[in-house]
Amino acid sequence: MMSVPRYWREIPERTRFEGARCTACGNTLFPPRMKCPKCGSEALEKYKLPQKGKLMTYTIVRSPPKGFEKMTPYVLGMVKLDDGTIVTVQITDVQPNQVSIGMQVESVFRKISEDGESGIIEYALKFRPIF
């Protein structure tokens, strides 16, 4: 397939776990935004987030949005990263009944869809438990 080299080049871009850091107040956020939600500053810089954290709370999603039916049920969790940044992410590689608050998790990138025509592969950031 002609487009193979192109999308392989795109993978590093899509799989970098990068957030933003506000240079005014030090707040870190993910996904990155144009403006700091804490202090309103627009002086944000790229910030590499830690890959590990702790599950603070979670919910089991049984009626997913259209296009994600195959994934049910899945676990949506709020993870507090090692630097204190809070991210809302899907928890993967675990049965919903094995998820517990306080468990250690790490980031992982998973292929979520592949468009055969354009050759574009989409990746999503997920977290999996560290056992």
Q: Which C-beta is closer to Zn ion: that of 11 or that of 25?
A: 25
36 binds Zn ion (CB under 5 A): yes
Residue type, 82: D
89 binds Zn ion (CB under 5 A): no
24 binds Zn ion (CB under 5 A): yes
Q: Which C-beta is closer to Zn ion: that of 42 or that of 114?
A: 42
Q: Which C-beta is closer to Zn ion: that of 27 or that of 104?
A: 27
How many residues touch Zn ion (CB under 5 A)?
8
CA neighbor of 87 nearest in space, from 126, 130, 46, 30? 30
The Cα 103–Cα 127 span in angstroms is 11
* The only residue of 22, 75, 81, 103 in contact with Zn ion, by rule CB under 5 A: 22
41 binds Zn ion (CB under 5 A): yes
Q: Which C-beta is closer to Zn ion: that of 24 or that of 61?
A: 24
27 binds Zn ion (CB under 5 A): yes
- The first and second tokens of residue 61, run together, are 């999603």
- Smallest gap from residue 19 Cβ to Zn ion (A): 13
Measured CA distances, 67 to 64, 70, 72, 82 (Å): 8, 8, 11, 32
Which positions touch Zn ion (CB under 5 A)? Answer: 22, 24-25, 27, 36, 38-39, 41
